[in-house]
Amino acid sequence: MAYGLNYQLPPSIDIKPLSKLYLILLYSKAILTSNPIAGLKRRKPDPNKGEHATDQVIRYLSPLQLAFMYELVTSDARIHAIVRLLHRTGARVGELLAVDWEQVDTQARKFPVLGKGNKYRWCFYSEDAAIALNKYIKYYRDFGTPALFTAQNPLTKEVTRLSYRRVHTCWRNLIAASQELKGIRLHDLRHTFATERVGLMAIEELRALMGHEDIQTTLLYQKVTSLRAEEVAQKALTILTQSENYTTVNYQPNHMDQLDTLPE
């Protein structure tokens, strides 16, 4: 069979095993009349392999974004408590929603979660999260289920465990009008938790709090992103500039400096 310019691979040939490089070679030699991989979607980067679309390795909230977020979610006691706990504990959304009320130690401010690999770990929360959680439990938590976070069907009045879908919908509705929080996910609070603690504790300790099976996943938080680098650089410039201005304003010449001003 002659391989002309208009030759097409027979349907019986499975091109999946063929490498992209080989297909490109066929196209470049005019054996194929069209690029067979031109319409393929680009594979998403795998963070577990250290692959990222940009150098913005970890998406986390800045202090300003956190301030906007807390202002918006305060009106919903349940979401406010969830957001506080996600930010302060680093728990995954699904892990937090699986917690039962009886598992929470309100005195020690901690609760266990079942993470990946079916391994339990403790999550510890702060005083501000405790205030939000206690308010939710006292005034808004529904009875009839052991779940910490509950939802009640408005028609049947049935009380069930709060679902991820319901949380996501409430979250999107609360931040919809905020340009500062556009595209921010609840999971980004977990990244924020880790980013805030890098450098404050050993990497193995952070790994234990995050529930990572692979230490390489935890090490991602040590990489300085473009945004973080800019924030640090600008802060350093501000401090240095203020220091230089203070030195200039408060400069007092000593006697050696005054020798240069004596008449010859």
Q: Which residue in the list 78, 92, 191, 207 is annotated as catalytic?
A: 92
Given 119, 172, 187, 223, the catalytic residue: 187
190 an active-site residue?
Answer: yes
Q: Is 3 considered catalytic here?
A: no
List 3, 20, 22, 116, catalytic entry: 116
Residue among 80, 84, 87, 190 flagged as catalytic: 190
| 212 is an active site residue | yes
Catalytic residue selected from 60, 125, 136, 221: 221
HEC readout, the chain = CCCCCCCCCCCCCCCCCCCHHHHHHHHHCCCCCCCCCCCCCCCCCCHHHCCCCCCCCCCCCCHHHHHHHHHHHCCCHHHHHHHHHHHHHCCCHHHHHCCEHHHCECCCCEEEEECCCCCEEEEECCHHHHHHHHHHHHHCCCCCCCECCEEECCCCCCEEECCHHHHHHHHHHHHCCCCCCCCCCCCHHHHHHHHHHECCECHHHHHHHHCCCCHHHHHHHHCCCHHHHHHHHHHHHHHHHHHHHHHHHCCCCCHHHHHCCCCC
| 43 a catalytic residue | no
Which residues are known to be catalytic? 92, 116, 187, 190, 212, 221
